Amino acid sequence: MKLLLKILKLIFYPLKIVVEILYGTKKADIVGYSWYSKFEYEKMLKTAQDAEIILPYDEWKVNAEETVVALRKRGLYIIKVNVKTNELNKWLRHQKLANLHENRLLFMGNKLSKFTEDPFI
């Protein structure tokens, strides 16, 4: 699979050069937003050490959608970063971090940075 991705990158590299010549190399302002399915959100709550300050899923979802709309109106490009609780918990254990809001943000940022470096992941 990695070989196939490298071949595709090689094939499309000339197109990338043309786009950079025409439009420049300035990258869009990208903001990641942690995105949960109801199942994953409720699963995350079971291991969250700050669960008492976390909104119920339905309230979180409304707030999250409003926030995404507001950020897009400001001209930012928003990427909804799907969070899988098993992956989150594994990453937190590996980093020796508790399941707290600021650490979940670090996890999301880590996933986003990997994606922006190589969107084929």
Which pairs count as long-range contacts for 84-90, CB under 8 Å and 24+ apart, including other chains?
Answer: 84/40, 85/40, 85/43, 85/44, 85/47, 88/44, 89/47
- Specify the pLDDT at position 121: 47
pTM score above 0.85:
no
> Is residue 120 pLDDT above 60, yes or no?
no
Cα distances (angstroms) measured from residue 48 to each of 27, 104, 106: 34, 9, 14
User: Residue written as tokens 């976390």?
Assistant: 54
Identify which of 119, 120, 51 has the alpha carbon closest to the alpha carbon of residue 85. Answer: 51
- Specify the pLDDT at position 1: 64
